[in-house]
Every structure is written in C-alpha cells, then in structure tokens.
Chain A
Amino acid sequence: MRGPKFLFALPLLIFSLLFLNTAQTQAAPDGEAIFKQNCTQCHAVSGDVVIGPGLKDVTKRRPKEWLHKWIKNSGAVIKSGDAYAVELFNKFNKTAMPAQNLSDEEIDGLLSYIEKKSSEAPAAAAGAPGATAGEAGTEEESDNTGMILIIGAFLIGLVYVLTLISRRLAKAVRERNGEPEPEQLKGMSWARQNKTIVALSIILLILIGSVKGWYALSSIGISQNYQPDQPIAFSHKLHAGEMNIACIYCHSGAEKGKAAGIPSANVCMNCHKYVKEGKVTGKVEIAKIYAALDYDPATQQYGPNQKPIQWVRVHNLPDLAYFNHAQHTKVGGQQCQTCHGPVQEMTVAKQFAPLTMAWCIQCHIATPVNKANKYYENFKPVDFNKYHGTGDSTLTVEKIGGTECSKCHY
C-alpha cells in the first residue's frame, strides 16, 4: 500500500515544486509588487469585477498608449471625451479610478505582469491541486505506520497459522503411513536447556510491554497532532505565513478574554470581498464563505439564507479547566506559537501541544512573570526554597501561585 501511493505522490510533488519554482522565476517582480500595492483593492487579474473591471486580457482590449494615459490620469481621459472611457466610467457607477503616480517603466512592468497572468491563469488553477495532492501524499506516508504494523502482525499471524496447519498435515500423513515421529525440534530443545535466558527474555518482554502499555493508556484523551478535516480548506500557511496576516486580525478575542475566537464570516469578507479567487483552491473554497453568508458578488449584499459554518474544533480543553487567552497573551506576553506551534506553516490547523495538565504546569514552573506589569510589583518575597529550584529568586508563575488548583479549576 505504501509503495504505490508514495510513488504516485513523488512525481507530483517534484512536478509541483518545479512548477512553483518556474512560476517564481518567470514572474516580473516589479509588476506583481506594483499590482499588489496599487491595484488589488479594486481590480483582479482575472475577469472578475471587484470594484473596477477585471483586468484579464486588458492589454488585448486596449492599446498600450491608452492604458498608460488612463492609469496616469483616468479623469483626464474621461474629460477628453474618449468614448470607451466615458462608457467605462458610466458602467462602474461613475466612480473614477484614482490617478496612479507610476512611471512608464513601472506601467510596462505592470502590464506585462497582467499579460502573463492572463495567459497562465488556467494553468495555475490546474497546477494548484497538484500541489495540495503532493502535500497530502507526504502527510499520509507517516500516518500509515500504524496500518503497516497491523498488517505486519496479521501476516506474521497468518504465517504462524499456516505453519501449524502444514505441521499438523505432515503429522497426519506420517501417522497414516506409519512413519515414526521425528526427534524434537531443535529450537524447542534449546529452549528447554536454556531456561534462564528464556525466562529473562519473557520478563523483558513483559516489562517492555507494560511500559509501552502504560504510555499507550496514559495517552488516551490526549489529542496531540489532532488535525481534523475542516469544512473549508482554509490554510493558515497561506494567510498567516505567506500573507503575513497577524493572528489577532482574525482571532481578535485572544487579547481580550477567555476565547481567542474563530473569526466570524464577515471578518473573512473584509478581504474576500475583493479577493475572489485563491491562488491554491481557486474559487471553490471562497465560494463556501459566500454561500454561508448568502453573499451575492454582483450586488455585494448579504442575503437572507445564511448558514453558519460548522468548523471542527481542534483544541478541546475539557470544561473542568478554565483557560484565558488574554492572561497569556496580553499579560504574559506569550507568542501564539508557544502553545499553538508553527501555525504559519500549517496548511490544515493541527493541535501542536498535548494540552495536558503536566504540560501547563511545566511552563508555569519555568516561566518568569512579566514584572513590567504594575500588578506584579508588590509581591512579598516568599520562601523560594519551597519551590522547584533552590533559592532562585526569579519570580516565576509558580511562585505567585500559578500552579494552584483554583487558578484553573472552578
């Protein structure tokens, strides 16, 4: 099972890496940067209307000179009575495009970027799923170990049973033919002669089994690396990693209170009103946000048939434990990544930490409090020998009572 899938995934992976690589080298860095800086608020490189028209094949529609004039000062072009310009102006709610302070070279770069994008758009869309498939393939490779072990055990069992059957059959044949039984098998007699070694090995096996079993049992209920499928293929890697969007832009509760919060769909719409097509999944996933809000891109209005998005909760702290994000972020100054791991590299959100009490406590023992906060100013000196580490006078979370029951359980 492992082989074929891996083999299938490998070329895809290589292909997609190659493709991404070439895409990067081919892109005119100038044009892309300019486009993102100046144009994305109102335009898409695709044919979609954002606020202004979609720019796909705009170089084919209009001559370059006209475009240069238009970009530099669209108002002047409209004033000059250019028929196309006036029509365009009327078509888009009489909103003039602001004049862009760009040099001719920059505009050329920009137009060549749009030209290139126009021609490759379908190819990019086709290439993208390949990339995700490649990633998924590598993910599954590691997940298969358990299955392989089970199959291995099954095969060993099968071999053992088959051996038994063949022995039994051989014995039956011998009995029918009246042949004498052969001498005891060599291995068995060896075992009888070396009972100590056998006993020690058995004890060793039991010990290993117990230890392994203990850890296996104590991991029940711990969902580290839990990575459920989500209803929308949202990628933190893309948003937090590549786009560099701050965590609290979406998880805005993280510095305010208990819950960091899953962003409501209207937060998504702050960007996705304009970004109508993703670079990885195209329109498919973004359309799910629109569907949830019953959003009509043409009228830019939310409709009445809204359906909430049912995300799957990744971090499930039991109800008996109280956790407050603000205490750790705003007050404690912890980075999100301390507990949530390199989220900016996760395509699908994953539980990074075990979220066990031991894990909490270890951090509370080791972490000094933020003494810049005036609240922590007048803590009385306590007997530091009482705590972990002897006589260390660093004021850690533990030393102000941060490991006591009712800090988290009430």
Chain B
Amino acid sequence: MEKKYWKGLEELHSDAEFVKQKNNEFAEALPLEDVFSSKATNNSTTDRRDFLKFLGFGVAAATLASCEAPVKKTIPYLIKPEEITPGVANWYASTYADGSDYCSILVKTREGRPIKIEGNPNSTITKGGVNARVQASVLSLYDTARLRGPLAAGKAAKWDDVDQKIVAKLNAVNENKGNIRILTASITSPSTKKAISEFTAKYPSAKQITYDAVSYSGMIEANKNSFGKAVLPSYRFDNASVIVSFGADFLGGWISSVEYSNQYIQTRKLRGTTKMSRHIQFETALSLTGSNADKRVAIKPSEQALAILNLYNQIATLAGSATVSDKAVPCAKDIKAAAQELWAAKGKALVVSSSNDTNTQMMVNAINNLLGSYSSTIDLDNHCNIKQGNDAAMVELMEEMNKGEVAAVILYGVNPALTSPKVDDFKKGLAKVGLKISFADRADETASLCDFVCPDHNYLEAWNDAEPKKGNYSLAQPTISPLFSTRAAQESLLSWSGNKMDYMTYMQENWKGTIATTQSLTFDAFWTNSIQSGLYTAPNAPATATTAPTVDLAATASAIISNPAPKGDLEVVFYEKSGIGNGAQANNPWLQEFPDPISKVTWDNYLAVSPKYAGDNGLVAGTVVNLEANGQSVKLPVLLQPGQAYGTASVAIGYGRTHAGKAANGVGANVYPMISVVNKAFHMMAAAKITKTNDALHEFAATQTHHTMMGRAIVKETTLAEYIKNPAAGNAPELIQTNFGKRPSEEVTLWNEHENPKHRWGMAIDLNACIGCGGCVVGCQAENNVPVVGKDEVRRSREMHWIRIDRYYTSDMNEERGHEEHKGTKDVMHEMEVPSENPQVVFQPVMCQHCNHAPCETVCPVAATNHSSEGLNQMAYNRCIGTRYCANNCPYKVRRFNWFSYTDNNKFDFNMNDDLGKMVLNPDVVVRSRGVMEKCSMCVQRIQEGKLKAKKENRNIVDGEFKTACAQSCPTNAIVFGDYQNPDSEIAKLEKDQRAYHLLGELNVQPNIIYLTKVRNTMSNEA
C-alpha cells in the first residue's frame, strides 16, 4: 500500500497557488540572467586577468591577516560595585504590572544588564508563573524605537524646557478653570495613585479617568450593583470542582490568567489523587481555555447572555427559587446538563463570563450566589485590582473633548488613538485639546499626536509598587540605570505639582505612612525585606460576610432580552492573543514570532472562521476579505479555524500598529475601532459583513500546518473514568514483531547502553498540566539566544525555536469508523486529515528528546552531535559542518539549521541586528553562526552552573535547585526537570508513573524526555 503524506492542508486541497509553487524548486526566480547579461558586466574594465589578480591578492591578504590575532581590549570597572562579580549573575525581585498583566518576577542581570525574567516563586498570587508577554518584556527594554528623551511638538527637547512650558500651560489652564483629564490604564500602584492625587490637588480641575483597552467595566459595575463593591473579585479556581465559563479565556488573558492557570491546574494534575475538576466552556472562538475544557460548546456571541439567563433559570429551578423570563437558545441541552453538574457541586462550583454587559454579569453573580460560590471560589474581600477601567467615563471624555470642554489631557499607559472604539471621534476630540501630554515610551499612535511626550522609564529601570490584590503588595526596583534620558511618569507629575522629590523617596514616604503601619518591624528593616523579596502581604482584614445580591433579577433579565447584543449574518468577536495581547508590546519581535497557541500562526492577525462556514461562503485559507463592522473596514486574510462557531468570526486585537517600531509596523490590521459601544460599555464583538477582494491568496507564516494525529498515539490520552479503573489506561506499550513474537519495543535494540556515572538528566512533561500557553517558548528563546527569523523564513519552516508546542485536533474519522463504513484506506486517510467541526484539542511541548539511542548521533559524519555521560544529546556547533543529516534522521524534527547568519544581518533586522537589542543576549550561551545545526541543549549552561554551585558549596545536588528555562517558566509546572539517577527526585518517581510514556516509543530511541498521558474528565456520552 502506498501512503501519501501531505505537506499541509494546502497540498491536500491542491490549492492553485500551491500547485504552481510545487513544480518550482526556487520559489523566487534566481537573478542569474540579470547578473550575466547586464551591461555592467560586459562593459566592465575589469577583465578576467584582473579579477584573478585581485582574487589572488585577496586570498594572500586574508591569509596574512588571519595569522595575526586581533588585539582585544579588556576594560575593567574603574570603581567596581561591590555586588557585581563579572561572570556571575545577580538576581533582583521586581514586579511587572503594565495595566493588563501582573507578575511578581525575578530579574537576572549580568554585569548590570537584565537578560532574563523569571517568576518569583514566593509570590502568593502568581506562584512563580509568568506568561509569554512578561518573559519577553526584557527585550522591550532594549527596543530601538524607544524615545531617547522628551519631545516637544515632535522634536527632541530638554527636560527643563519641557517642564517649564508644561507648568506654564497647566497654570494657565488652571487659572481659566479649564478641565484637565488624566487618562490612565488601570493603576495598581498605591504610590502612583498618591502622586496623581497630589497632582489633582494642585490642579483642582484635573480628574483621573481609567481606561483599559480590554475592558472589564461591566463586571465592576455589576459587582457594585449586586454587592455594593465596585471591584473585580479574586477567583479561586483551585477550590472549584465544576467550572463553567462563558467565553472567559481565563488561561489565556482574562484578568489575571497567570494566577488562574496555576490554580486551575491544581485540581487537574492527578498526583496522588484521582479527583479532577470538570470544566465546561461555552465560547465563540476556540480559545486556549476552550481547548483545555473537558467539554466545549460553540455558541454565537449574541447567544451568550441568553445562555446565562437559561442557566440561571435551570439552577433556580433546582434550587427552588424564582425563575426569570428567558428566551430559547440552541445550546439549551448543554446548558441544562451544565446546570445539573453545577448544582451537584454546589459550594464548589464557579461560573465566569467574558461579557462586558453589566446585566449579564449581574445574572452571573446571581448564579454564583445560588451555587454558594462566594467565600469558596469567589473572594470579594481580597478583591483584584488588575483592571479598574471605566468605559462610561471614557465615552464621556470623548464627548467632552469633542465639545471642546477639555483644556489639557495627560495620557499615561494608554494608547487610545490605537485602541479606542470609534477611534476617529477620539482623534477629532484630541485635536481640540489645547495641551496634550503623553508618558509613552515611544512616539506611538497617540503620543505622535501630542504636544509633549515625556517618556516614562521602562519598568526594569524604575521604582514602583503595586497592589494587584487587596493587601498583597509587590515592589519593583530598577535593575539597570535608565538607558535614555527618560523620567518616571510619577516624577513628572510630582514635579509639575511642585514636588521635587524623587519617586523612590516618595514611595518610601508613602509606605511609611500607610503600608508599613500594618507590621511591627522598623521601617528600614521592613523596607529592605520587602525590596529583597519583592513582596509584602498585609495581615488579612477580617472577612466581611457577602450579603446576597439585592437586585431585581426580573428587571435585569428583561433588560437583557430587550437589549440584544449586536447580531448579524456574521458575528465577529475580538480577542487578545497570548503573545501580542493588547498590542502594547507589539514591537517585540519575540512576541511577533511567537506562534499563536491555537492557530500556530506568527506575525499576523486574521479573520478566523469555521471551515464549514468558509466552504459555504466560497472562502479558502488565505482569501483576503474586506471586513466591515461598526462603520469601519479592514482587509484581513481568512484562516480556517476548527471549533469556531458557525456564522461567527474572530479577529485578534493589538495588530495593525503604525507607530510602534520596525517589528510591529504594518503587521496585521487594527480592529480596535470595530469594538461595539453599547450603553457606554465596550463590547468585544460586532455584527459584521465580509466581501471577498481580488487580492492574491495570503500565505500564513505558521509553524504547524498539519492538524491531526492521523490515528497515531503521539499524544496518548484517556478519560478520567478509564484512568480510575486503570492508571495505565491509554498507555499501551508499543510492541515490535520479533522472532519470539511481539515484544515491547525497549527489548529490541542494536545498541549498547550508555553509562551514566552520576547523573542522567531528563524532563517529564505532564500533558494534563500543559495548557499550551507557550510561556516556555519565549523563556527558551530568551535563555538560549534563539534568533528571530521573520515572517518569510517562518513561511519556509525555518523558525529557530528550540521548543515548540504541537497542537492537534481530533478528527471525526478514525480507522475503526472507516472500517465500519467500508471506506477505502485512501478515503479514510483523507478524512482523518480533516479536524472535527468542534474538535478536542491536545497540546504537546516538543523539544530535543535527548535520546539515549539517538538517530542523529549515528549519522553525523564529524561527530558534532554525540552523547554525554549525563544523558544529554550534545551539539558542538564549532564542529558542525552543516550536512543536516542529523535533522533528516531525527524522528521528532527538533533540530534547527542556521540558514543564515541572523546577527548583524540587515535582512534580519530584529533585535540581533543592533547593539541595543544584543544587550539581551545571554553571555553564557554562544550565538550560533550560519551553516550549523542547533537544538535544545536541555539548558546545559544551567546544569553546569547548578553543578558548580553544589561543588563550590561542597555538597550534592538537591533535586529542583535548578531547572531548565522551559520548566522554570511554566506557570502550571507541567515540565519537571531532574536527575533520573537521584532516587529521591520527582522525575525518578514520575518515570515509574503508569501514565509515563516516550514519544514515538515504537522507535525505541529511548528519550530522556517522558510524557504523562492526557486525562480528560469527559462523560461517557461525550466524544
């Protein structure tokens, strides 16, 4: 039987473009003709003899020159700071809080420059987790697009002049009683808030308005109406045994996703327990959260509020409470099932919704109240401060500005000329404001419209504090001197208010009077402790009993029914990608090249529609369409996304930047202006219309084009019920036919075993704990100097990431079904390529498997890759001659070839092409040159460093004292690194776990990476 494997869906469907390219080895014509027939060559006075002379001279000169080693200077410190030892890293605790993400972090600095961000394991909130954006933020420090100093009317200016002019203008505004508005993103910093209040005290007409690009104001308003507390609650996903989410992507970006990821996985790890939470997701686009759900129901965005009403009624019926009026929804059966499960888990249930509609959120509150979730899975006392935006205030500001009632506006941490709905209104209004000041770090879309730009420090250069959750304080300290002539925004505000105090002293003074009074140490000791740990948790205030919501639910319900969400032929939702987020860090090439966890597309946003919808409307992958919604229109390519609800589309925000810098400008399209404004609230959805354009098919730069496992056990999985019966369920050993019958593949080998005198390093990856977020991908990139290659090279499958996360969809077709339906093998194979309409999703991080019987090692003609006595598959770059035999012989396709030099190469104009961007490089890891193979080294530099530390301290290695970068950055600790030969290590125990298996075990290459089977908490009646 001859099998046919497809390179991708494009080949399978024989797209016209693909067929054309297939027969053409060189996608682009080689310019041979141009070179040989050009007039310049023929008329040149340099003849062959001259050429040979020059060549000869060149060779001789080069040979002579290479004999003399260049003189290298070594320039020590004049006065060395006491804490710095060149070659030894210093770590500082700090805080990342940019108004959308919060993480307590540790910053690794080498010779005074930050090179890596890691999670702070002592944090009570993020517990050592970080996401891709926080990992990548260290590169944003070295962004060449950052302003070098203040700007006045778009021209470089001096701080003194700028201050003088601004103060004069502010005073004039103040005298005329003109309105001053300070538009900020959510501020979690108590000292910054105090600085702003000092400013508003000096200028009484000033008012602060909080505006979030991705708004949660409906929820805040709902909590105000329900409980009299205008806050976001803290969630405890770890206390929930049944979680129902309506569109809330709480693993991907919703409020405090790093915190929730860690909580969520606590009940799903199956370590020493067989209890596992049950997670049902009702959503439109296939989100990271939805792909991890045990059951996922695709609904249209306009159905969400009604579905919640239905759920309320179902639960109210079970609880014996009064029901409210509702309206039928297509997913009624699933709602009913969900209601029963929730009710059965009363007191341990949790319902969340992404809706920004106050009424809908009030219904969610009512549901949670019936379920007894308050005080168990929802905590309103220790509320969350991460989002505080107020949409109504923003809408009013835009109206005020357009009426010419605002005399001065100060923008801090916001970019409304990019992110605002009805962006033209905003821009028109802004033009009418007399004095416009921005604290942006670059001349971005809004700052470029301002009179003055007073660039704030990068967060790694600045002091700051944060209170992400009530009573949980977090401190940020500078880890590098400011690179440019920037100034902390707080200092700017203070100096304009006449307070010349520097911000650190100001912060200390603030803490002295407030936070420090909650403890008993002297202030100096307290301050030193807090800075050192980066954290301080105030003693808990006594919890106040949450009173039942006093809301007229019937009125709320009828308001929901009478005010339907935007509805249309095509309903489009706008979402944040795990990498780019709200677009603030869009100029970070690591994030641009970070593959979307679901679509695996890099360097783009797109209109994702379900394959069926695309088929019905004559769309194919890459069709460029014109998307019209809310009076705006953009061109976007179509992506076929299994799991997307029929009749809906989804587009990521944060793209289409025009003033962000070289990496972000012109990538994708900006859809923020399409966000619907209903009742002065921003809804991340719109009714839309699409029209096909005549543009050529768009080619996506995707790192994975093959979407199903084709019936192979690449990711082994089982259900919870099966797992309880047999922990080894779904993990059958691979058998090989031998002379003695079928034997396990481990018994069939040609090779001698390797000796491991002391260590055998390895990693265990729990596929149940991996949520596919991709934090490890960026963590690895930062640690190992992995270059960015750009959109074109990713299209050629030449991305350099050492770790990838494979994402597979289930297919409706499988071999058994094909057999039953009497289909031919070819047809079955064909159909197995096609993902289900609403597929189950698995994620599998794949890095070098460090095989003990590695196929790559045996084919290297120069032994550049070979095995170490510690179980590592080592790669000596300077020995590699670039035959690429190893990559061809690797069954896991984890080897990466340097097709080009990615440093100092104008064709790859990313961070490694400028001196500033190179400052992020890890000096302990070599930067690979053109023509050599590279791959995951299992962070050998960290292993060596960890061993050396133990040796210097005259002791043995303690399990877990050092980790690979991917294991370190995992917010759910899905990756466990350790030494198999240390019997007390976690990995030695996991190796014996019945869920453990080797990827492609039938090959018996004996990897040092093990995977633990995925267990789904699905009911027997669910697929």
Interface residues of A, Cβ cutoff 8 Å to B: 220-221, 223, 226, 228, 252-253, 256-259, 261-267, 292-293, 302, 306, 308-313, 316, 319-320, 322, 324, 326-327, 330-331, 373-380, 382-383, 399-401, 404-407, 409-410
Contacts and interface: CB of A to CB of B under 8 A. Distances in A.
B53 interface: no
Given A256-B88, A407-B868, 13 more contacts: A223-B69, A253-B87, A256-B85, A312-B74, A313-B74, A322-B941, A324-B948, A380-B757, A401-B757, A401-B869, A404-B866, A410-B937, A410-B944
Interface in B875-909: 875-879
Given A312-B71, A326-B948, A401 B868 contact: yes
A301 to B, nearest CB: 12
B716 to A, nearest CB: 31
Contacts of B77: 264-266, 308
15 contacts: A253-B85, A253-B88, A256-B85, A256-B87, A258-B924, A261-B87, A266-B79, A292-B78, A309-B76, A311-B75, A331-B951, A405-B874, A406-B868, A406-B874, A409-B879
B940 A410 contact: yes
B207 interface: no
Interface in B743-758: 755-758
A312 B76 contact: no
Contacts of B66: 220-221
Contact of A404 (B79, B868, B877, B941): B868
Nearest to B928: A320
B438 to A, nearest CB: 34
Contacts of A266: 77-80
B872 interface: yes
B85 A312 contact: no
A246 to B, nearest CB: 17
A182 to B, nearest CB: 41
Interface stretch (B384-392, B422-430, B484-492, B954-962): B954-962
A220 B875 CA distance: 25
B926 interface: yes
A409 B878 CA distance: 8
Smallest CB-CB A-B distances: 7 pairs: A258-B87, A406-B874, A259-B87, A264-B80, A401-B869, A257-B88, A264-B77
A269 B954 CA distance: 34
B75 A375 contact: no
Given A312-B74, A405-B868, A406-B868, A382 B944 contact: no
A262 B86 CA distance: 9
Nearest to B867: A404
Contact of B878 (A308, A320, A404): A320
A371 to B, nearest CB: 12
Contacts of A253: 85-88
Interface in B59-84: 66-67, 69, 71-80
Contacts of B875: 405-406
Contacts of B78: 264-266, 292-293, 306, 308-309
B952 A405 contact: no
Contacts of A374: 954-956
A265 B924 CA distance: 26
Given A292-B78, A308-B78, A311-B75, A221 B956 contact: no
Given A264-B76, A316-B69, A320-B926, A382 B877 contact: no
Nearest to A216: B67
Contacts of B714: none
A405 B877 CA distance: 10
A6 to B, nearest CB: 27
B926 A379 contact: no
Contacts of A383: 755
Interface SS, B side: loop
A226 B72 CA distance: 12
A406 B85 contact: no
B954 A375 contact: yes
A400 to B, nearest CB: 6
Contacts of B924: 258, 322, 410
Given A252-B85, A380-B758, A262 B876 contact: no
B947 interface: yes
A331 B85 contact: no
A405 B948 contact: no
A226 B71 CA distance: 11
B925 interface: yes
A330 B876 CA distance: 27
A265 B79 CA distance: 6
A357 to B, nearest CB: 10
B758 A400 contact: yes
B870 interface: yes
A406 B872 contact: yes
A326 B950 CA distance: 12
Contact of B76 (A263, A324, A375): A263
Nearest to B759: A401
Contact of A409 (B75, B877, B954): B877
Given A257-B85, A259-B87, A310 B75 contact: yes
A319 to B, nearest CB: 6
Nearest to A370: B951
A303 to B, nearest CB: 11
Contacts of B86: 253, 257-259, 261
Contact of B866 (A226, A331, A405): A405
A46 B949 CA distance: 48
A18 B902 CA distance: 62
Contacts of B872: 406
B957 A220 contact: no
Contacts of B79: 264-266, 293, 302
Contacts of A311: 73-76
A311 B74 CA distance: 5
Contacts of A310: 73-75
A312 B75 CA distance: 8
Contact of A410 (B866, B926, B947): B926
A402 B757 CA distance: 12
Contacts of A409: 874, 876-879, 926
B69 to A, nearest CB: 5
A260 to B, nearest CB: 9
B76 A257 contact: no
A265 B925 CA distance: 29
A316 B70 CA distance: 10
Nearest to A229: B71
Given A262-B76, A312-B72, A313-B73, A406 B957 contact: no
Contacts of A264: 76-80
A174 B516 CA distance: 114
Nearest to B866: A405
Contacts of B756: 380
A389 to B, nearest CB: 16
Given A378-B758, A380-B756, A400-B757, A331 B952 contact: yes
A308 B80 CA distance: 11
Given A226-B69, A293-B78, A410 B757 contact: no
A348 to B, nearest CB: 14
Interface string B755-793: 111100000000000000000000000000000000000
Nearest to B69: A223
Contact of A220 (B67, B85, B879): B67
B511 to A, nearest CB: 33
Contacts of B71: 228, 312-313
A405 B926 contact: no
Contacts of B868: 401, 404-407
Nearest to A327: B948
Given A264-B79, A401-B757, A375 B956 contact: yes
A374 B952 CA distance: 10
Contacts of A261: 76, 85-87
